[in-house]
Structure 1
């Protein structure tokens, strides 16, 4: 048995239904934007609070007129902090870099201590002075931690550096040349067969080594004394 189907137009959606449809599309987008903002704030807020601790005056103090001597010290503190940040960000890691940063952090710490002493000479409200002292203490803790950190880095680089090689040169001992002693011996008279004495030539005239003498009655074959000896034999 066939059925009769009658097509009817649906009533238009109400305003509440339209709002629900819009929220189903827009709400996920809003939640995504909130999540991204929260993630970015995790990286931005620590950096901002760090800078506030280093250089920036609080809004309540900055709105009041501070003495020019303190503002001058504040400007010098900012300049020293900028130099420190420039070295830390732009120079390559090395022993020399960390030694320089240690010196800069120590200079900043000394500067904040001088600002502490300056506050005792200024005519400020007790509340404002306490705010500035609290801020100074935060800065001193910050720069002292930087100084300790870079000292540790210096020790790390000093440990990794190879030990210097010391070349030991052997001293050359020069032995003075010792001249062989020359014994200048006078000529020796040796009697010949006829009973006449014949002058024996000295070793210097015979060309023999020093200290060597010919036996009695012997004449050298060569040398300046050969002719003299033979002549004596005649």
Structure 2
């Protein structure tokens, strides 16, 4: 059977992905600029807990020290750099660890029985850092999604071939055989009228 090969242009999906990536790239650059300008300073908030129990102060200091180490490690390894898919997955995990330390700081100060103003100051400082690291984590997620977009583009062929089978030996519909009507009984045909094959034919 003959086959008809139809070539199609690049699917619109590829164009859509490219346009989407341009928008994502612009968003990534905007977030990167924001992260650079608003990176929080590592303040020593321990003096605000001077009236708290010594155990609380020790817990807060240990957690804050670990937090500072995680932040320093993040900035040294992941700050303002581009890497592989695994690189950005590790950056997200590091950001999660930093956010977990901030949550622990909140839990510690809630148990310290501090004055309301001091508690508000500490929580505000923690939240400011949490907002920053939430944004940093989202930035790494955007970078990670770039690799997923590239995988989609790589798996989509530029041209598609569609094979269409034509039915060459299709049987034409059978025409109905014409049948002459037989005159009703008692009807006389003209002397010169004779239909070949008719059951009633009057000879001349």
Normalised by the length of structure 1, the TM-score is: 0.43
Higher RCO (Cα < 8 Å, 6 or more apart): 2
Q: TM-score scaled by structure 2?
A: 0.49
Bigger radius of gyration among the two: 1
